[in-house]
Amino acid sequence: MNLPEKETLGWIGVGVMGLSMARRLMDAGHPLVVYSRTKAKASALLEAGAFWADSPAEVASKTRTLFTMVGYPSDVEAIFLEGKSIVQSLLPDSLVIDMTTTKPSLAQKIAAVIEENGSFFLDAPVSGGDVGAREGTLSIMVGGAETAFQRARPFFTILGKNIIHQGSPGAGQHTKMCNQIVIAGTMIGVCESLLYAKKAGLNLEAMLSSISKGAAGCWTLDHLAPRIMKRNFDPGFFIDHFIKDMSIALEESAKLGISLPGLALVHQLYLAVKAQGHGKSGTQALMLGLEKLSSVSQ
């Protein structure tokens, strides 16, 4: 592999959001070494000039700044700590930025191991969905050392507009749990309002024009309510991944000794939607589950 002389970034994981985020870094002039479990998913990046690596360890061995955005905590643990891992392959003074939504305790564990080896780690989950990933308007919640955060900031500005250092390792993940708790409650509210409006015979577009400019205004109304109205349930963020996030939030809340009954309810509703075969649909497919409940109750 013949790499350019200028710094080359590493990127591991090219899902719905990761692909667009990686492409933004390339479009900003950063050569990229990329790995994904399914090479075909990286084809657009490879066609644009990215270099392919055969493993996460190879990415780590060829770049001093690398990003990871994979699916589940088990995936994060595997690429960082198991077998021939990222940690074992890091170059000296590397900066590793995990943008996966995962467990705060896992972020703290990885940060400790990486820092013991003379490199730096940030947990930096994001919010903004597929739209934010494409347009570079994500909200990025960062945990880790201040020096590492400042080193990563130029790259974050390519990916997002709201970039906030939340504190020590794991703080980014805790903040993302707060984000997902709000989204869970907002999503059920948006879906139920559309269901109510339809049954009441309202013009849905007119209704949304009114409430989206008042106190109910939010990202979900602006971006996902129109998709629901068009019966577009393609993923901006998978239901499977949202269930994972809510499960982490419920687990963390139990550790903190608090009860989140609203989150628990929405979690159960999403599990029902997944059982209907919609795990790979977007989170707005909660509407399908509520519609089914409504028809059963009539």
Helix axes 171-199, 104-116, angle to 10 degrees: 150
How far is 88 from 67, CA to CA, in rounded Å? 16
| Token pair in block for residue 188 | 């059920």
Q: Which residues, at least 6 apart from 277, have a Cβ–Cβ distance to it below 8 Å?
A: none
Q: Which two structure tokens, joined as six digits, stand for 31?
A: 């050569």
Q: Please report the sign of the dihedral spanned by the C-alpha atoms of residue 156, residue 160, residue 164, residue 169.
A: negative
| β-strand pairing of 138-143 with 32-35 | unpaired
- Alpha carbons within 13 angstroms on the beta-carbon side of residue 147 total 6
**Set 84, 161, 176, 280: catalytic member:** 176
Active-site residue flag, 176: yes
Residues 6+ apart with CB under 8 A from 111: 121, 123, 144, 169, 170
At 250, list the tokens.
């419920």
Nearest-angstrom CA–CA distance, 163 and 195: 35
Classify the C-alpha dihedral 77-242-70-175 as positive or negative.
Answer: negative
Say how far apart CA 76 and CA 82 lie, in whole Å.
Answer: 10
C-alpha 141/C-alpha 145 separation (Å) is: 13
- For 67, the token pair is 């990003």
Give the SS3 label for residue 96.
strand
Active-site amino acid positions? 176
